[in-house]
Structure 1
Amino acid sequence: MDYLVLLYYCYTPLNNPEQFREEHHRLCLHLNLLGRIIVAPEGLNGTVSGRRADCEQYMRLVKADARFASLEFKVEEASAHTFQKLHVRVKPEIVHVGLPGIKPYERTGIHLSPQEFRDLKDQPDVVVLDVRSDYEHSLGRFKNAVTLDMENFREFPDKLDELAQYRDKKILTYCTGGIKCEKASAFLLEQGFENVYQLHGGIIKYGLEAGGEDFEGKCYVFDGRVAVDVNTVNPSVISECHHCHALSSRMVNCANPHCNAHLPLCESCAQQLAGACSPACQQHPAKRPYNGTGTYPKLSNHYSPEQGLISYKRS
């Protein structure tokens, strides 16, 4: 395939994130990359797509910066761009949990390779903990994983009481690419949990290097693909259509923008409801036209470094 999708993050101190954002944004424009990148005092987080040669140059240039020497790219092939625009933003954290005092580059859970995670996850003294949001783990998760009822990762610190029962266990955290686990495991260590681990590189790396064994369903991703296959060993579908409850891994946003719920909706029900999650949303006067995809990317305003936080889209 001619295109690549890069998923990456690196916790590292950045003294001038605003300046770095501008320089990094210009680099992405030069290489014709599209995607979403967050710059913060604590590091860099991004998912971008581009032509193979452009992505390979981007990876070389990023890792040439000593601050990102330890950064690992999760690389997947694609037939085209998986984004329609480019955002490079400065935020307080590269993944928002409201704990800016947590510094994963100083202390975090023990990293497990995909093979180590696979060998350890079914041991009797182990708990596999999914630190992602509801709509993500409802689409796919590891067999027998503990999941948390969270609409957003920033709710994770509020789940401490639920996790107290696992203090004497080995806790294996996982997420899509590893970035949430870094903070989740660091937070658990800070709260007195002793045996805390994390799946290095997340679900994506596990699929690439360990065949995705025992990951049930699909993995939610934050680009135009929405859901990707991970398991080539013993794949399954676990999510159900929100409307008819048939097994379906087809994720959509409700066509009613005032609802905009992110949920599984099989193709038949999506056609019947014109992309809405319910008859009530189908009748809503603000309902967006349904084009068969169930995704509704925002319009671009031709983002440039001088314009700051306005989106950029290639002509």
Structure 2
Amino acid sequence: MEQAYNILLYYCYTQIEDPETFRDEHHELCLSLNLRGRIIVAAEGLNGTVSGLKADTERYMEAVKADPRFAHIDFKVEPYHKHSFAKLHVRVKPEIVHSDLHHINPNQRTGIHLSPAEFKKLKDAEDVVILDVRSNYEHAVGKFKNAVTLDIENFRDFPQKISELEQYKGKKIITYCTGGIKCEKASAFLLEQGFENVYQLHGGIIKYAIEEGGEDFEGKCYVFDGRVIADVNKVNPKVISTCYVCGTACDRMVNCANPDCNVHVPICEKCGWEMEGACSAECKSHPKKRPYDGTGYYVKESNGYNPFLNAKRAKKNQSAANCLTEEV
């Protein structure tokens, strides 16, 4: 299958003085390049994952890096055969990843960045602890061999688990996540709490897969696009999750067809069809149950979604401002 598209995963902690204006300009850039995806803009930086034709994503990366604020941004690039998103959303939020650690600036202090090659050499040492800082549903379907995982529903719960990590204070702790962004604040928080030997896998699981073949990552990597999960281990792959319904080995993630439940769990293909995409008999008979197409992935209702709408509003507001300036 021809891989005519690219999926980009990226983030950059940098100061953005006027996030609203930057959002409008960035939205226009993405529209001009026919990109789709989710992008978050905040005063502390930029975080995104988008898909587009290879030539368009190349132009996008060039345009972003041409801005001095993002000159050092690290794009993780994965070839794909189609758009991995149905829509484009560019939003302004308080943080580029929700952590509630607003006081931490990764540009001032954070864990030592390890390249994928350095991580591979160090990960099996006796004095090393590999710490997964992702949520339950992410590490349930895939994680590094022997990694320490935390029972958290969202990354903002991470600080509450610090007491569970006290036993590792004398060791080297290497944090990891999907693309590296959560580790920036997680590793900085560990340092703040008195942990001394703190490292992080630069570029996360995705970069490690691209550069080192994903060795010893067991299962699949949960991703935040239409793929839901991605194969990352080309060396010694292994399935670690089981079907939520029947218990057989399975790493196929499904959203329950009942939107009021919407639990995200592994469900094998056989049970998926038998349960019509539902995780239980109750959900299967629920009056709001969505039609199951074999994927278990449901695009949210568009409600008249128009990718140009916010761009038009921005232009309208600017025109109004120009008129007022001329009148004065």
TM over 0.5: yes
Which of 70, 73, 93 is residue 71 of structure 1 equivalent to?
73
Q: Indicate conservation of the 8 Å contact 2:27/2:311, yes or no.
A: no
Matched residues in 1 for 2:312 and 2:252: separation? 36
Q: Mean alpha-carbon deviation: is it higher for 36-45 or for 284-293?
A: 284-293
1:120-159 mapped onto 2 (5 Å cutoff): 120-159=122-161
1:207 partnered with 2:209? yes
1:305 to partner: Cα distance: 2.4
Identify the residue that residue 52 of structure 2 maps to in structure 1.
50
Matched residues in 2 for 1:235 and 1:195: separation? 30
Which of 307, 310, 313 is residue 305 of structure 1 equivalent to?
310
Which has the greater radius of gyration?
A: 2
Deviation beyond 3 Å, 4+ runs, structure 1: 306-309
Q: Indicate conservation of the 8 Å contact 1:16/1:41, yes or no.
A: yes
1:106 to partner: Cα distance: 1.2
Matched residues in 2 for 1:188 and 1:76: separation? 31
Describe the superposition over 1:102-143 as per-residue Cα deviations: whole angstroms up to 9, x where unpaired.
Answer: 111111100001111011111111100000000100100000
Letter in 2 for 1:305: N
Letter in 1 for 2:37: G
Q: Which structure 2 segments of 5+ residues have no match?
A: 315-328
Matched residues in 2 for 1:94 and 1:67: separation? 15
Matched residues in 2 for 1:259 and 1:183: separation? 31
1:90-239 mapped onto 2 (5 Å cutoff): 90-239=92-241
Identify the residue that residue 266 of structure 1 maps to in structure 2.
268
SS state at 1:263 partner: strand
Q: Which structure 1 segments of 5+ residues have no match?
A: 310-315
Which of 34, 59, 62 is residue 60 of structure 1 equivalent to?
62
1:222 to partner: Cα distance: 0.2
Q: Indicate conservation of the 8 Å contact 2:28/2:311, yes or no.
A: no
CA gap 1:123/1:289 in 2 versus in 1, 3 angstroms: same
1:271 to partner: Cα distance: 0.5
Matched residues in 2 for 1:138 and 1:74: separation? 23
Letter in 2 for 1:106: Q
CA gap 1:235/1:129 in 2 versus in 1, 3 angstroms: same
Matched residues in 1 for 2:92 and 2:130: separation? 32
Bigger helix fraction: 2
Letter in 2 for 1:145: A
1:308 to partner: Cα distance: 6.8
Letter in 2 for 1:3: Y
Identify the residue that residue 325 of structure 2 maps to in structure 1.
none
Matched residues in 1 for 2:86 and 2:142: separation? 25
Matched residues in 2 for 1:253 and 1:37: separation? 23
1:299 to partner: Cα distance: 2.9
Which of 269, 276, 283 is residue 281 of structure 1 equivalent to?
283
